[in-house]
Structure 1
Amino acid sequence: MLRNMLTTGLYLSLLAQLGGALPEQLFSSSIPIKVAATFGALPNPIQYPQYTDTTAGAWQYFVPNTWTSGFFPATGYALDTRQRLCGSTPANALGTADWLGLARSAGNGLLNLNASDGIGHDVGFISFPFVEELLVNPQNATAVAAINNFATMLAARFDPIVGCTRSWDTADPTDFQVIIDNMMNLEVLFQSADLTGNTTLRTIATTHADTTMKNHIRDDGSTWHVVEYNSTTGAVIRKRTAQGFADNSTWSRGQAWGIYGYANMYKRTNDTNYLTTARRLATYFLDTLPADGIVPWDFNAPLTPPPRPADSSAATIAATGLLLLATQETDAISRQTWTDSAQQLLANITALAWDPSWQSLLANGTVDWPAGNLLTGIVYGDYYYIKAGNDMVTMGLTSCSADVVNSTSSAAQSAPTARSASSATRLSPFSSLW
């Protein structure tokens, strides 16, 4: 098992020599063409895509006070980043649109959201476009104000007795519910602290991460989705799931949020406890993949009956989290482990879920299996798919054309099918880069 091999370094030394071919779809011209078409179809007044239907892959649109609303404007910024990284050519179709202009226009629909709109702790996700804007224009006063506003909202949800920011509101105010997803929202606190010098925001973020590290993570590195606290005493009263298979199972997207969240916490603080935690969560994720290498909706859900669905969004989030983790490692073997694993996740899910006929980039997403919402495209799955490609270019792991990179390795092969991915190992085309 991976976690046992990691203790001896055997797996690390082996995986450093192995890897799947990077899927050429990761830089396909279909990506900007599809995204531009979706920008052109945004309703007026503004609504945002969250997931598709299950038959034609048509986007379903939701009002701004939905937790996913920041992802599509952020996708526009991601393609602006890709255009700056890769340039515009007829082959890559990145000149199809003014990505920055589209992203800014779509992001305007998020500016008037406030705490009473029901977005709660998800102000962190909503803030993504404005964080991206400051990378383009650090003097943008509108983005600065939005980030500080969202951080203030999140900080107001912090309870020092519990040591966390509240995730979901409840009828009983003493029932203080925290979900693993909330690790992703902490970045807005750091962003605002950087802008304002308010160190209290950093303290809230680290306290939340520390409490979550203590109570959300099992001994084997898996995670609970929801932990309920008593807000009067701070005591844990229940650990459960809301979107996974069972209270004692591991919902894969929650595990992916945790990988990314703790890797980012280490990046922000240099606290090695966060690095250790990110490694533990990543190890469990990779160790518990099924034989076909496809990320399931829940790692512990039974295979049959009915068939256990995949979650393409969990795969792309995890891949991006692994790439972030790789940038925090100081030794070449560990970096190679996480980058090769990210590459394999992307190859596997592309082979299963890439669908040229859908409006989304990827199919086979599971939004919420208990609610019957599965077999869809998902906006955040697509966002992290694009971001993963950008990150690999930025890290020097690939060029802007996967087919060019793959051809540099005599051992490179086409992306494995969903049914044979676990046995499709080959020399990594990136081994010499570390």
Structure 2
Amino acid sequence: MLLPPLLLSALALLLHSTSAQFPPELFSPLIPSKILATTNALPNPIQYPQYTDARNPGRWLYFSPNTWTSGFFPVTLYELNTRRQRCGVTQANGLGAADWLALGRAASNGLLNLNADSGIGHDVGFISFPFVEELAINPRNQTAIDAINRFARQLAARFNPTVGCTKSWDSSNPTNFQVIIDNMMNLEVLFHSADLTNNATLRQIATTHADTTIRNHIRADGSTWHVVEYNSNTGQVTRKRTAQGYSDGSTWSRGQAWGIFGFANMYRLTRNPNYLSTARRMATYFLNNLPADGVVPWDFNAPLTPAPRPADSSAATLAVNALLLLSEHETTEAAKQQWRSGALRILEKITDLAWSPSWQSLLSNGTVSLPANNFLTGTVYGDYYFIRAGNELVRLGLTSCRSNLSPSPNNNVAPQPQTSSGRRSARVLL
């Protein structure tokens, strides 16, 4: 089911009205300023930022490269190189502060010796992101070629043909084969390696995993289970549950966004219409279940009382990119505008309530894992997808590289917690 016609018309009108409707924070000079400061603060030996410290709000916590998020900061540097190429260097945009490509290459070096047994498991796909960007710039870069092929081999080694999926999380029980919806994001590395090696088996593994995910992870209404457990010997589903959502039957918003992006991307890579229709169903659920104020909740089914449910700015930025990608695959203007208007609605709320000039991260109000009491944070992946959203909007010709913000003390306002009701709470983070 698509959005109601009146809502679609209103959102399309908003999108078309003027490029000034796009939040100016998308191109703030604070973005390169903060990213450069984080680059200069990277520990030696290398560790990477993942989320901000709840006890020292707004300050990055750094983690070993053997962490699923380690590719996001290096690829953020590549994304600023992309922005520099698309927007140029001006005194106002701050993009001339560094050689972002050189910094991205240097930061990626800490990922070269990782393997699927060192703690990152199936997330070699996420780790591959900066190397994919490098090959787009220099297709003959042997270091990037070797890294992508190695990561693809490691992911393929986790494939079980009986189950029809690559394994996400390892278990002490050898028959317990756990698959999470996030794994849809890791499949792209198999296609890149297949292109480099002519290994068609890698593509088959990716499509088999996607097909199995459609059958078992996605509900009739387009929502998703976070985790599906299989018997590794029979391929039978033994349990469907959540790990980071509210309940086993609820829909964790970031997992839903991973799925939209993953299936839209699978359509881009294969042109299989089943992947496009799946992405549409999941995107329709996402937009139809947003609260009236457009703030993306941590979980769509989490209760609103007794305490307001936290938002997740990282789910929001990811969803914006997923919707923009989905819009590119539509052939009618109405369909394109449905997804782009939804993306804009979400994007405006991100910058309205989560833009955090005084933090080391760009955004606040991320929910890493509410069951682990890790929320009201900045996240490295939320920041990456925020920057990427601006770049994609420029590439699509939907906005220009302009900002009316400056990194002056006047912008140094402490952010306040955001809930999915859209109200700012009274608690001040700084």
Flag the 1:376–1:5 CA change in 2: closer, same or farther, 3 A.
Answer: closer
Q: Which amino acid is 1:213 matched to?
A: I
1:177 correspondence with 2:178 = yes
Q: Percent identity?
A: 68
Separation (CA, whole Å) in 2 of partners of 1:165 and 1:66: 18
Q: Is the partner of 2:298 in helix, strand or coil?
A: coil
Q: Is the partner of 1:17 in helix, strand or coil?
A: helix
Q: How does 1:221-240 map to 2 (within 5 A)?
A: 221-240=222-241
Q: Which amino acid is 1:286 matched to?
A: L
8 Å CA contact 2:354–2:365 kept in 1: the answer is: yes
Match of 2:256 in 1: 255
Q: Is the partner of 1:316 in helix, strand or coil?
A: helix
Match of 1:164 in 2: 165
Separation (CA, whole Å) in 2 of partners of 1:174 and 1:40: 45
Question: How big is each residue's C-alpha offset from its partner over 1:237-296, in whole Å with a ceiling of 9 and x where there is no partner?
Answer: 100000000000000000000010000000001111100000111000010011221000
Q: Is the partner of 1:342 in helix, strand or coil?
A: helix
8 Å CA contact 1:22–1:402 kept in 2: the answer is: no
Q: Post-superposition shift, 1:115?
A: 2.4
8 Å CA contact 2:177–2:229 kept in 1: the answer is: yes
Separation (CA, whole Å) in 2 of partners of 1:366 and 1:125: 19
Q: Post-superposition shift, 1:337?
A: 1.3
8 Å CA contact 1:349–1:418 kept in 2: the answer is: no
Q: Which amino acid is 1:287 matched to?
A: N
Separation (CA, whole Å) in 2 of partners of 1:200 and 1:355: 45
Q: Is the partner of 1:224 in helix, strand or coil?
A: coil
Separation (CA, whole Å) in 1 of partners of 2:251 and 2:374: 18
Question: How big is each residue's C-alpha offset from its partner over 1:75-102, in whole Å with a ceiling of 9 and x where there is no partner?
Answer: 0000000000000111000011110111
Q: Which amino acid is 2:108 matched to?
A: G
Q: How does 1:122-133 map to 2 (within 5 A)?
A: 122-133=123-134
Match of 1:37 in 2: 37
Match of 2:312 in 1: 311
Flag the 1:220–1:359 CA change in 2: closer, same or farther, 3 A.
Answer: same
Match of 1:428 in 2: none
Q: Is the partner of 1:313 in helix, strand or coil?
A: helix
Separation (CA, whole Å) in 1 of partners of 2:3 and 2:84: 40
Q: Post-superposition shift, 1:421?
A: 9.7
Match of 1:334 in 2: 335
Q: Post-superposition shift, 1:309?
A: 0.5
Q: How does 1:208-357 map to 2 (within 5 A)?
A: 208-357=209-358
Q: Which amino acid is 1:15 matched to?
A: L
Q: Which amino acid is 2:14 matched to?
A: L
Aligned residues: 406
Separation (CA, whole Å) in 1 of partners of 2:181 and 2:219: 12
8 Å CA contact 1:301–1:308 kept in 2: the answer is: yes
Q: Post-superposition shift, 1:300?
A: 0.4
Separation (CA, whole Å) in 1 of partners of 2:105 and 2:2: 47
Match of 1:18 in 2: 14
Q: Is the partner of 1:146 in helix, strand or coil?
A: helix
Flag the 1:316–1:268 CA change in 2: closer, same or farther, 3 A.
Answer: same
Q: How does 1:400-419 map to 2 (within 5 A)?
A: 400-401=401-402
Q: Is the partner of 1:388 in helix, strand or coil?
A: helix
Separation (CA, whole Å) in 2 of partners of 1:361 and 1:329: 31
Separation (CA, whole Å) in 1 of partners of 2:396 and 2:11: 19
Match of 1:109 in 2: 110
Question: How big is each residue's C-alpha offset from its partner over 1:162-216, in whole Å with a ceiling of 9 and x where there is no partner?
Answer: 0000000000111000000000000000110111111100000000000001100
Q: Is the partner of 2:187 in helix, strand or coil?
A: helix
Q: Is the partner of 1:227 in helix, strand or coil?
A: strand
Separation (CA, whole Å) in 2 of partners of 1:382 and 1:15: 25
Match of 1:88 in 2: 89
Match of 1:430 in 2: none
Structure 1: tracts of 5 or more residues without a match: 405-416, 423-434
Match of 2:206 in 1: 205
Q: Post-superposition shift, 1:62?
A: 0.1
Match of 1:135 in 2: 136
8 Å CA contact 2:298–2:309 kept in 1: the answer is: yes
Question: How big is each residue's C-alpha offset from its partner over 1:403-434, in whole Å with a ceiling of 9 and x where there is no partner?
Answer: 69xxxxxxxxxxxx979999xxxxxxxxxxxx
Separation (CA, whole Å) in 1 of partners of 2:11 and 2:94: 35
8 Å CA contact 2:323–2:339 kept in 1: the answer is: yes
Separation (CA, whole Å) in 2 of partners of 1:389 and 1:80: 13
Q: Which amino acid is 2:69 matched to?
A: T
Separation (CA, whole Å) in 2 of partners of 1:158 and 1:240: 21
Separation (CA, whole Å) in 2 of partners of 1:255 and 1:228: 18
**CA-atom RMSD in angstroms:** 1.8
Separation (CA, whole Å) in 2 of partners of 1:38 and 1:188: 27
8 Å CA contact 1:297–1:308 kept in 2: the answer is: yes
8 Å CA contact 1:293–1:418 kept in 2: the answer is: no
8 Å CA contact 1:124–1:184 kept in 2: the answer is: yes
Separation (CA, whole Å) in 2 of partners of 1:331 and 1:252: 27
Match of 1:49 in 2: 49
Match of 1:153 in 2: 154
Separation (CA, whole Å) in 1 of partners of 2:203 and 2:185: 14
Flag the 1:12–1:307 CA change in 2: closer, same or farther, 3 A.
Answer: closer
Q: Post-superposition shift, 1:11?
A: 4.8
8 Å CA contact 1:294–1:349 kept in 2: the answer is: yes
Separation (CA, whole Å) in 2 of partners of 1:314 and 1:241: 16
Q: Post-superposition shift, 1:139?
A: 0.6
Which segment drifts farther, 300-309 or 144-153? Answer: 300-309
8 Å CA contact 1:12–1:334 kept in 2: the answer is: no
TM-score normalised by length of structure 2? 0.92
Structure 2: tracts of 5 or more residues without a match: 406-416, 423-430
Match of 1:187 in 2: 188
